[in-house]
Amino acid sequence: MKKKKIVLLCCILGCVSLAFTSKKTRSEAEAKPPVPKKSVTLIIDAGHGGHDPGNLNGTKGMLLEKDLNLLIAKKLGTYVEEYLKGKVNVIYTRKTDEFIGLENRVSVANSKKADYFISIHCNSDSKTQISGTETHVHNANSKVGLDLANAIQDQFLNRAGRSSRGVKIKHDRGYNLMVLKDSKMPAVLVECGFMSNSTEEAYLNSERGQSLIASAIFRAFRDYIDKRHGIKQVSDKSIAKQISPMYKIQILASNTPLSTNMPDFKALGDPIEEIKLEGTTFNYKYYVGTFSSKKEARKKLKAIQETHFQDAFIVRFE
Ligand SMILES: [Zn+2]
Protein backbone atom coordinates (compact mmCIF):
# COMPACT_ATOMS: atom_id res chain seq x y z
CA MET A 1 0.00 0.00 0.00
CA LYS A 2 2.75 2.36 1.06
CA LYS A 3 4.68 1.47 -2.04
CA LYS A 4 1.61 2.19 -4.13
CA LYS A 5 1.26 5.65 -2.60
CA ILE A 6 4.87 6.48 -3.30
CA VAL A 7 4.51 5.28 -6.85
CA LEU A 8 1.38 7.36 -7.30
CA LEU A 9 3.17 10.39 -5.91
CA CYS A 10 6.04 9.75 -8.30
CA CYS A 11 3.53 9.57 -11.13
CA ILE A 12 2.00 12.90 -10.11
CA LEU A 13 5.41 14.50 -9.69
CA GLY A 14 6.36 12.97 -12.99
CA CYS A 15 3.38 14.64 -14.64
CA VAL A 16 4.27 17.98 -13.12
CA SER A 17 7.90 17.80 -14.09
CA LEU A 18 6.98 16.56 -17.53
CA ALA A 19 4.67 19.53 -17.91
CA PHE A 20 7.56 21.90 -17.22
CA THR A 21 10.43 20.13 -18.91
CA SER A 22 9.75 17.76 -21.74
CA LYS A 23 6.23 18.96 -22.56
CA LYS A 24 7.63 21.60 -24.81
CA THR A 25 9.89 19.34 -26.81
CA ARG A 26 7.37 16.53 -26.99
CA SER A 27 4.33 18.56 -28.02
CA GLU A 28 6.34 20.75 -30.39
CA ALA A 29 7.70 17.71 -32.14
CA GLU A 30 4.23 16.30 -32.44
CA ALA A 31 2.46 19.47 -33.47
CA LYS A 32 4.28 19.40 -36.79
CA PRO A 33 2.45 18.14 -39.89
CA PRO A 34 2.87 14.51 -41.03
CA VAL A 35 6.50 13.41 -41.16
CA PRO A 36 7.24 11.30 -44.23
CA LYS A 37 9.41 8.34 -43.24
CA LYS A 38 10.60 5.21 -44.99
CA SER A 39 10.60 3.13 -41.83
CA VAL A 40 9.90 3.32 -38.12
CA THR A 41 10.95 1.36 -35.06
CA LEU A 42 8.23 -0.16 -32.89
CA ILE A 43 8.80 -1.52 -29.41
CA ILE A 44 6.37 -4.27 -28.48
CA ASP A 45 6.34 -4.73 -24.74
CA ALA A 46 4.70 -7.82 -23.22
CA GLY A 47 3.98 -6.74 -19.65
CA HIS A 48 5.40 -8.63 -16.63
CA GLY A 49 7.27 -11.97 -16.99
CA GLY A 50 9.42 -14.36 -14.99
CA HIS A 51 8.81 -14.03 -11.25
CA ASP A 52 6.33 -11.21 -11.91
CA PRO A 53 3.13 -12.97 -13.09
CA GLY A 54 1.03 -9.81 -13.36
CA ASN A 55 -2.65 -10.52 -12.71
CA LEU A 56 -3.48 -14.04 -11.64
CA ASN A 57 -5.94 -16.21 -13.54
CA GLY A 58 -9.58 -15.97 -12.50
CA THR A 59 -10.32 -19.59 -13.38
CA LYS A 60 -8.16 -22.63 -12.69
CA GLY A 61 -6.33 -23.84 -15.78
CA MET A 62 -6.32 -20.44 -17.48
CA LEU A 63 -3.09 -18.57 -18.20
CA LEU A 64 -1.43 -15.93 -16.04
CA GLU A 65 -1.31 -12.36 -17.28
CA LYS A 66 2.39 -12.55 -18.20
CA ASP A 67 1.65 -15.50 -20.55
CA LEU A 68 -1.38 -13.89 -22.19
CA ASN A 69 0.58 -10.67 -22.72
CA LEU A 70 3.40 -12.55 -24.41
CA LEU A 71 1.09 -14.50 -26.73
CA ILE A 72 -0.74 -11.34 -27.85
CA ALA A 73 2.51 -9.35 -28.16
CA LYS A 74 4.07 -12.04 -30.37
CA LYS A 75 1.00 -12.21 -32.60
CA LEU A 76 1.05 -8.44 -32.99
CA GLY A 77 4.75 -8.61 -33.90
CA THR A 78 4.11 -11.36 -36.44
CA TYR A 79 1.46 -9.28 -38.20
CA VAL A 80 3.67 -6.19 -38.24
CA GLU A 81 6.63 -8.15 -39.59
CA GLU A 82 4.55 -9.76 -42.31
CA TYR A 83 2.34 -6.91 -43.45
CA LEU A 84 4.79 -4.05 -42.93
CA LYS A 85 7.93 -5.98 -43.86
CA GLY A 86 10.96 -3.73 -44.24
CA LYS A 87 8.97 -0.70 -43.12
CA VAL A 88 8.81 -1.37 -39.41
CA ASN A 89 11.67 -2.55 -37.28
CA VAL A 90 10.09 -4.56 -34.44
CA ILE A 91 11.90 -4.81 -31.12
CA TYR A 92 10.46 -6.93 -28.34
CA THR A 93 11.26 -6.11 -24.73
CA ARG A 94 10.93 -9.84 -24.09
CA LYS A 95 10.23 -12.87 -26.26
CA THR A 96 10.29 -15.45 -23.50
CA ASP A 97 9.00 -15.83 -19.96
CA GLU A 98 11.69 -13.72 -18.29
CA PHE A 99 11.68 -10.90 -15.80
CA ILE A 100 12.66 -7.52 -17.19
CA GLY A 101 12.56 -4.46 -14.97
CA LEU A 102 10.53 -1.49 -16.09
CA GLU A 103 13.68 0.67 -16.18
CA ASN A 104 15.21 -1.74 -18.71
CA ARG A 105 12.12 -1.74 -20.88
CA VAL A 106 12.21 2.04 -21.02
CA SER A 107 15.96 2.28 -21.56
CA VAL A 108 15.86 -0.22 -24.44
CA ALA A 109 13.14 1.85 -26.09
CA ASN A 110 15.00 5.11 -25.53
CA SER A 111 18.41 3.82 -26.59
CA LYS A 112 17.05 2.30 -29.81
CA LYS A 113 15.42 5.65 -30.56
CA ALA A 114 12.14 3.87 -31.12
CA ASP A 115 9.29 5.79 -32.73
CA TYR A 116 6.44 3.98 -30.99
CA PHE A 117 5.98 1.91 -27.88
CA ILE A 118 3.04 -0.46 -27.39
CA SER A 119 2.75 -2.22 -24.06
CA ILE A 120 0.38 -5.21 -23.76
CA HIS A 121 -1.41 -6.04 -20.50
CA CYS A 122 -4.55 -7.80 -19.26
CA ASN A 123 -6.75 -6.36 -16.56
CA SER A 124 -8.35 -7.65 -13.37
CA ASP A 125 -10.91 -6.29 -10.92
CA SER A 126 -12.60 -7.52 -7.77
CA LYS A 127 -15.94 -6.84 -9.49
CA THR A 128 -16.16 -9.82 -11.81
CA GLN A 129 -18.88 -8.30 -14.00
CA ILE A 130 -16.50 -5.61 -15.30
CA SER A 131 -15.24 -6.28 -18.82
CA GLY A 132 -13.84 -4.45 -21.81
CA THR A 133 -10.68 -3.01 -23.26
CA GLU A 134 -8.80 0.15 -22.25
CA THR A 135 -5.87 1.98 -23.76
CA HIS A 136 -3.79 4.18 -21.49
CA VAL A 137 -1.65 7.15 -22.37
CA HIS A 138 0.43 9.07 -19.92
CA ASN A 139 -0.78 12.53 -20.71
CA ALA A 140 -2.86 14.35 -23.25
CA ASN A 141 0.15 16.43 -24.35
CA SER A 142 1.26 13.50 -26.41
CA LYS A 143 -1.14 13.97 -29.26
CA VAL A 144 0.39 11.12 -31.22
CA GLY A 145 0.00 8.75 -28.28
CA LEU A 146 -3.56 9.91 -27.79
CA ASP A 147 -4.44 9.52 -31.47
CA LEU A 148 -2.94 6.05 -31.57
CA ALA A 149 -4.80 5.08 -28.38
CA ASN A 150 -8.08 6.31 -29.84
CA ALA A 151 -7.40 4.39 -33.06
CA ILE A 152 -6.81 1.19 -31.07
CA GLN A 153 -10.03 1.57 -29.08
CA ASP A 154 -11.91 2.37 -32.27
CA GLN A 155 -10.67 -0.88 -33.81
CA PHE A 156 -11.64 -2.89 -30.74
CA LEU A 157 -15.10 -1.40 -30.79
CA ASN A 158 -16.01 -1.27 -34.43
CA ARG A 159 -14.06 -4.11 -36.00
CA ALA A 160 -13.38 -6.65 -33.27
CA GLY A 161 -16.72 -6.39 -31.47
CA ARG A 162 -15.21 -5.72 -28.06
CA SER A 163 -16.57 -3.58 -25.26
CA SER A 164 -14.55 -0.41 -24.87
CA ARG A 165 -13.86 1.35 -21.62
CA GLY A 166 -12.17 4.04 -23.63
CA VAL A 167 -8.86 5.84 -23.57
CA LYS A 168 -7.57 6.56 -20.09
CA ILE A 169 -5.32 9.46 -19.29
CA LYS A 170 -3.34 9.58 -16.05
CA HIS A 171 -5.44 6.73 -14.78
CA ASP A 172 -3.64 4.98 -11.98
CA ARG A 173 -1.81 2.08 -13.53
CA GLY A 174 0.57 2.08 -10.60
CA TYR A 175 4.16 1.26 -11.33
CA ASN A 176 3.47 0.18 -14.89
CA LEU A 177 2.75 3.75 -15.90
CA MET A 178 6.47 4.29 -15.79
CA VAL A 179 6.80 2.73 -19.24
CA LEU A 180 4.54 5.48 -20.51
CA LYS A 181 5.97 8.32 -18.49
CA ASP A 182 9.66 7.78 -19.10
CA SER A 183 9.67 6.60 -22.67
CA LYS A 184 10.64 9.39 -25.03
CA MET A 185 8.45 8.24 -27.91
CA PRO A 186 4.63 8.12 -28.10
CA ALA A 187 3.65 5.22 -25.87
CA VAL A 188 0.38 3.43 -25.22
CA LEU A 189 -0.50 0.69 -22.77
CA VAL A 190 -3.29 -1.62 -23.95
CA GLU A 191 -5.37 -3.52 -21.40
CA CYS A 192 -6.77 -6.27 -23.60
CA GLY A 193 -9.60 -7.38 -21.31
CA PHE A 194 -10.47 -8.53 -17.80
CA MET A 195 -9.16 -11.87 -16.57
CA SER A 196 -11.52 -11.55 -13.60
CA ASN A 197 -14.56 -11.77 -15.93
CA SER A 198 -15.03 -15.43 -16.86
CA THR A 199 -16.37 -14.76 -20.38
CA GLU A 200 -13.56 -12.38 -21.18
CA GLU A 201 -10.98 -14.64 -19.60
CA ALA A 202 -12.06 -17.50 -21.88
CA TYR A 203 -11.80 -15.12 -24.85
CA LEU A 204 -8.32 -13.95 -23.81
CA ASN A 205 -7.22 -17.56 -23.47
CA SER A 206 -8.54 -18.55 -26.91
CA GLU A 207 -6.34 -18.44 -29.99
CA ARG A 208 -9.05 -16.63 -31.90
CA GLY A 209 -9.46 -14.05 -29.15
CA GLN A 210 -5.72 -13.39 -29.12
CA SER A 211 -5.68 -13.07 -32.93
CA LEU A 212 -8.61 -10.66 -32.93
CA ILE A 213 -6.98 -8.48 -30.28
CA ALA A 214 -3.60 -8.48 -32.01
CA SER A 215 -5.15 -7.74 -35.41
CA ALA A 216 -7.17 -4.83 -34.00
CA ILE A 217 -4.01 -3.27 -32.53
CA PHE A 218 -2.14 -4.01 -35.75
CA ARG A 219 -4.73 -2.28 -37.95
CA ALA A 220 -4.77 0.78 -35.71
CA PHE A 221 -0.95 1.01 -35.87
CA ARG A 222 -0.84 0.33 -39.62
CA ASP A 223 -3.44 2.99 -40.42
CA TYR A 224 -1.76 5.41 -38.07
CA ILE A 225 1.72 5.19 -39.56
CA ASP A 226 0.21 5.44 -43.03
CA LYS A 227 -1.53 8.66 -42.02
CA ARG A 228 1.44 10.12 -40.16
CA HIS A 229 4.41 8.94 -42.22
CA GLY A 230 2.94 7.70 -45.49
CA ILE A 231 4.11 4.15 -44.73
CA LYS A 232 1.94 1.66 -46.61
CA GLN A 233 1.23 -1.97 -45.94
CA VAL A 234 3.48 -4.15 -48.13
CA SER A 235 1.05 -6.92 -48.85
CA ASP A 236 -2.43 -6.10 -50.06
CA LYS A 237 -3.58 -9.46 -48.72
CA SER A 238 -6.28 -8.79 -46.15
CA ILE A 239 -5.29 -9.62 -42.63
CA ALA A 240 -8.90 -10.54 -41.93
CA LYS A 241 -8.60 -13.46 -44.39
CA GLN A 242 -5.78 -14.90 -42.33
CA ILE A 243 -7.71 -14.58 -39.11
CA SER A 244 -11.06 -16.03 -40.22
CA PRO A 245 -13.81 -13.67 -39.19
CA MET A 246 -16.67 -14.40 -36.87
CA TYR A 247 -20.31 -13.48 -37.14
CA LYS A 248 -22.84 -12.45 -34.54
CA ILE A 249 -26.50 -11.56 -34.91
CA GLN A 250 -27.42 -8.14 -33.64
CA ILE A 251 -30.98 -8.20 -32.37
CA LEU A 252 -31.29 -4.79 -30.75
CA ALA A 253 -29.51 -1.51 -30.00
CA SER A 254 -30.56 0.76 -27.16
CA ASN A 255 -29.50 4.05 -25.59
CA THR A 256 -30.05 2.60 -22.11
CA PRO A 257 -28.91 -0.73 -20.73
CA LEU A 258 -31.52 -3.51 -20.90
CA SER A 259 -31.85 -6.58 -18.75
CA THR A 260 -30.65 -9.62 -20.65
CA ASN A 261 -33.34 -11.51 -18.71
CA MET A 262 -36.27 -9.59 -20.21
CA PRO A 263 -39.05 -11.84 -21.62
CA ASP A 264 -38.42 -11.07 -25.31
CA PHE A 265 -34.76 -11.99 -24.90
CA LYS A 266 -35.60 -15.07 -22.83
CA ALA A 267 -38.04 -16.27 -25.48
CA LEU A 268 -35.14 -16.71 -27.89
CA GLY A 269 -33.67 -19.41 -25.68
CA ASP A 270 -30.10 -18.27 -26.46
CA PRO A 271 -27.64 -16.39 -24.27
CA ILE A 272 -27.68 -12.67 -25.04
CA GLU A 273 -24.42 -10.79 -25.22
CA GLU A 274 -24.34 -7.09 -24.39
CA ILE A 275 -21.62 -4.89 -25.87
CA LYS A 276 -21.35 -1.33 -24.64
CA LEU A 277 -20.01 1.21 -27.10
CA GLU A 278 -18.92 4.70 -26.27
CA GLY A 279 -19.71 7.90 -28.12
CA THR A 280 -22.75 6.66 -30.04
CA THR A 281 -26.44 7.19 -29.32
CA PHE A 282 -27.56 3.59 -29.31
CA ASN A 283 -24.55 2.47 -27.42
CA TYR A 284 -25.85 -0.77 -25.95
CA LYS A 285 -25.88 -3.50 -28.53
CA TYR A 286 -27.32 -6.96 -28.01
CA TYR A 287 -26.10 -9.99 -29.91
CA VAL A 288 -26.90 -13.66 -30.19
CA GLY A 289 -24.38 -16.35 -31.05
CA THR A 290 -20.88 -16.48 -32.46
CA PHE A 291 -20.55 -18.25 -35.79
CA SER A 292 -17.48 -19.03 -37.84
CA SER A 293 -19.38 -19.19 -41.14
CA LYS A 294 -21.88 -16.80 -42.64
CA LYS A 295 -24.02 -19.74 -43.70
CA GLU A 296 -24.46 -20.84 -40.09
CA ALA A 297 -25.24 -17.28 -39.06
CA ARG A 298 -27.85 -16.92 -41.83
CA LYS A 299 -29.64 -20.04 -40.63
CA LYS A 300 -29.87 -18.64 -37.14
CA LEU A 301 -30.88 -15.20 -38.41
CA LYS A 302 -33.87 -16.71 -40.22
CA ALA A 303 -35.11 -18.30 -37.01
CA ILE A 304 -34.61 -15.09 -35.06
CA GLN A 305 -36.45 -12.97 -37.62
CA GLU A 306 -39.52 -15.15 -37.08
CA THR A 307 -39.67 -13.90 -33.47
CA HIS A 308 -40.00 -10.37 -32.10
CA PHE A 309 -36.71 -9.36 -33.67
CA GLN A 310 -37.63 -9.01 -37.36
CA ASP A 311 -34.95 -6.38 -37.91
CA ALA A 312 -32.10 -8.53 -36.63
CA PHE A 313 -29.04 -8.64 -38.89
CA ILE A 314 -25.63 -10.29 -39.18
CA VAL A 315 -22.51 -8.42 -38.07
CA ARG A 316 -19.04 -9.52 -39.12
CA PHE A 317 -16.13 -9.19 -36.72
CA GLU A 318 -12.47 -9.67 -37.61
ZN1 LIG B 1 -0.24 -5.83 -16.22
Question: Ligand 1 centre from 316 Cα, in Å?
Answer: 30
Q: Which residue has the higher pLDDT, 257 or 69?
A: 69
Confidence of residue 207 (pLDDT cuts 50, 70, 90): very high
Question: Ligand 1 centre from 126 Cα, in Å?
Answer: 15
CATH architecture of the domain covering 19-229: 3-Layer(aba) Sandwich (3.40)
Question: Ligand 1 centre from 1 Cα, in Å?
Answer: 17
The letter for the amino acid at 262 is M
> Are 230 and 261 within 8 A, CB to CB?
no
% of the chain with per-residue pLDDT over 90: 50
Question: Ligand 1 centre from 4 Cα, in Å?
Answer: 15
Question: Ligand 1 centre from 77 Cα, in Å?
Answer: 19
Question: Ligand 1 centre from 195 Cα, in Å?
Answer: 11
SS3 readout for the chain: CHHHHHHHHHHHHHHHHHHHCHHHHHHHHHHCCCCCCCCEEEEEEECCECCECCCCCCCCCCCCHHHHHHHHHHHHHHHHHHHCCCCEEEEECCCCCCCCCHHHHHHHHHHCCCCEEEEEEEECCCCCCCCCEEEEECCCCCHHHHHHHHHHHHHHHHCCCCCEEEEEECCCCHHHHHHHHCCCCCEEEEEEEECCCHHHHHHHHCHHHHHHHHHHHHHHHHHHHHHHHCCCCCCCCCHHHHHCCEEEEEEEEECCCCCCCCHHHHHHCCCEEEEECCCCCCCEEEEEEEECCHHHHHHHHHHHHCCCCCCCEEEEEC
Confidence of residue 222 (pLDDT cuts 50, 70, 90): very high
Can you tell me the distance from the alpha carbon of 26 to that of 263, in angstroms, rounded to the nearest whole number?
55
pTM over 0.75: no
What pLDDT score was predicted for residue 32?
56
Question: Ligand 1 centre from 49 Cα, in Å?
Answer: 10
Check pLDDT > 70 for residue 313. Answer: yes
Question: Ligand 1 centre from 293 Cα, in Å?
Answer: 34
In CATH, which superfamily holds the domain spanning 245-317?
A: Sporulation related repeat (3.30.70.1070)
Question: Ligand 1 centre from 28 Cα, in Å?
Answer: 31
Q: What are phi and psi of 292, to 5 degrees?
A: -90, -15
Can you tell me the distance from the alpha carbon of 102 to that of 172, in angstroms, rounded to the nearest whole number?
16
Q: Where are the domains of the chain?
A: 19-229, 245-317
Confidence of residue 85 (pLDDT cuts 50, 70, 90): very high
Question: Ligand 1 centre from 189 Cα, in Å?
Answer: 9
Question: Ligand 1 centre from 266 Cα, in Å?
Answer: 37
At 104-161, the pLDDT tens digits run 998 999 999 999 999 999 999 999 999 999 998 876 557 888 899 999 999 998 888 8
Can you tell me the distance from the alpha carbon of 165 to that of 216, in angstroms, rounded to the nearest whole number?
15
Check pLDDT > 80 for residue 178. Answer: no
What pLDDT score was predicted for residue 141?
59
What pLDDT score was predicted for residue 274?
79
At 50-61, the pLDDT tens digits run 999 999 999 999
If we measure between CA atoms, which residue out of 79, 58, 314, 313 comes closest to residue 198?
58
Question: Ligand 1 centre from 258 Cα, in Å?
Answer: 32
Q: What are phi and psi of 50, to 5 degrees?
A: 60, -130
Confidence of residue 11 (pLDDT cuts 50, 70, 90): very low
